[in-house]
Chain A
């Protein structure tokens, strides 16, 4: 069974702190996505990484795909209360939605 392990499961920090969330697997993925989900809503796509070693930035969020395309990290600089939510990673093997798997998520709470 393919697994995507996310860590930590829960993270509670103060506004202004930095944090990193990890997504790890023993499988190689053709692409990996990060989503943010707020309570009562569906996940919203933040970014897709495709190339090993790739780094993408979205304002204060930095996403990195591991060189071997088995893992990824999300780093948030100077977290704000608006960053609060459930962060999910998803990995795709090839071109089929049937092969897409999700991690269980990291629940982030940023306190003012």
Chain B
């Protein structure tokens, strides 16, 4: 099993550019989420989805869009990149609504915005 797959692993953008971070899981998990990890800040939730067609905002949603058209895919879109969005981004999935903290994480996407 591939688990949770994120692409790209590394990306450099200029301020104002847009891009999409891809996330796919092959475990038939209902729940998917995006986190960003910054030094001294820990993991912060950006957006999450409890199933296809349903998304909701997390702690730091501004500047990001998501959609969930299939169970497998949960892309994260940066609309107009800013240096403050330089971070490591993790996609995660979970199989049980009863255990929302039991997450399977991807390997991360390191984004630098110049």
Interfacial residues, chain A to chain B (CB-CB below 8 A): 31-33, 40-45, 48, 88, 90-92, 94-100, 102-105
Report B96 CB to chain A, min CB distance, Å: 9
Q: Does the CB pair A31–B45 fall under 8 Å?
A: no
Helix, strand, loop or mixed for chain A's interface?
mixed
Complexed CA–CA distance, A94 and B56 (Å): 16
15 inter-chain pairs at a CB distance below 8 angstroms, sorted by A residue, are: A31-B100, A40-B107, A40-B108, A41-B107, A42-B107, A42-B108, A48-B99, A48-B101, A88-B42, A90-B103, A92-B100, A92-B101, A95-B98, A96-B100, A105-B42
Tell me how many residue pairs across A and B have CB atoms closer than 8 Å: 69
Of all chain A residues, which has the CB nearest B9? Answer: A40
Interfacial residues, chain B to chain A (CB-CB below 8 A): 4, 31, 33, 35, 40-45, 48, 50, 56-58, 90, 92, 94, 97-108
- List chain A residues, Cβ under 8 A from B102: 33, 45, 48
Report A20 CB to chain B, min CB distance, Å: 20
Q: Does the CB pair B105–A44 fall under 8 Å?
A: yes
- List chain B residues, Cβ under 8 A from A96: 50, 100
Report B1 CB to chain A, min CB distance, Å: 14
- List chain B residues, Cβ under 8 A from A99: 100
Q: Does the CB pair B105–A32 fall under 8 Å?
A: no
Complexed CA–CA distance, A90 and B44 (Å): 11
- List chain B residues, Cβ under 8 A from A102: 35, 42-44
- List chain A residues, Cβ under 8 A from B99: 31, 48, 92
